[in-house]
Structure 1
């Protein structure tokens, strides 16, 4: 089985490396992969550093990054989906993406609870707090950092709860905490 870390690099600087290293170490026990020693990004520009690894081998590639413009999310349900580790194999998510219709991305619902989009963890604004699903498909590195810094709070979030929220934000290693620019959540969730 192959796993993946996606690390943001801007002008040669790597972002949130300790969270990526922690996830790698939790994925492969007793790993000898030290990210700071193997990820050496270009000195200029914004790059997505892609580390594909297993228990014995790794490969690092660098890709110029252009942010996807996500303004709408299609609710899709799948009670069987599992993505507890950041696997290279994403066929179950790819199948769900075929259901997105005219929307930009999907919002996956498992057992009646909101989880993640196809590429990011998610948070919803309720009064003055940002809430993130307690049971995401993948516990992302940006999500872990924001939880540790008390910027977001975990909650079980059902589909019916969505009408109570005023804003939506996506979070992953490349976009950090990105608020979708629309005050009407009903226009974001298709």
Structure 2
């Protein structure tokens, strides 16, 4: 039984980007459990008490036979440095709770450092996010992401960002790396390109 999860932004009692999270759940079921009706996030949340104030991480865990939700306060990490790590073995096409491929890097970095993975010569994601790079008013995201994030997809659909094949040598063409995921948009967690280092 494969256990997967969605992490959803809950801010001021409002749930963000629900249709993008549901679309990812639907895609996971189509790929992994094609004969099973996809979990409905709205149905899972029925009866769950959601805080009306503050920023929270709403976690919906699910498989083909069960689903549950939990709510946690959310505090943004402060990241001062990204470390480029080459690992061609990485594959994370669905949001599995089994994250062993990332756990092997746990404890190897300072609290304010985060690995930025290079797979088959292309810049991809961190352990918990997609990235967006900008130079001036031009914002791009790596085409070769490990996981198609909901915030990433929402910004692609609205034209805020575009996809680009990005190699490590191209990073110096940009100014800032933005760490993006369901709870973080452009400008929430940023790292200067000068603070992206190679091990």
TM-score under structure 2 length normalisation: 0.87
- Indicate yes or no: 2:123 matched with 1:114: yes
- The aligned length equals 189
5+ residue gaps, structure 1, are none
Check the 8 A contact 1:75/1:109 in 2, yes or no: yes
User: Could you say which residue in structure 2 is the equivalent of 1:69?
Assistant: 78
Distance 2:170 2:147 in 1: 21
Distance 1:76 1:187 in 2: 14
Query: 1:12 Cα deviation (Å)?
Result: 1.7
Check the 8 A contact 2:8/2:182 in 1, yes or no: yes
User: Could you say which residue in structure 1 is the equivalent of 2:43?
Assistant: 37
User: Could you say which residue in structure 2 is the equivalent of 1:58?
Assistant: 67
Paired residue secondary structure (2:21): helix
User: Could you say which residue in structure 2 is the equivalent of 1:85?
Assistant: 94
Which has the larger displacement, 19-28 or 167-176?
167-176
Check the 8 A contact 2:79/2:190 in 1, yes or no: no
Distance 2:137 2:51 in 1: 39
Query: 1:188 Cα deviation (Å)?
Result: 4.0
Cα RMSD after superposing both structures: 1.8
Distance 1:102 1:24 in 2: 31
Paired residue secondary structure (1:116): coil
Deviations 1:143-190 (A, max 9, x none): 0000001111111100100111111111100112235556x4212446
TM-score under structure 1 length normalisation: 0.91
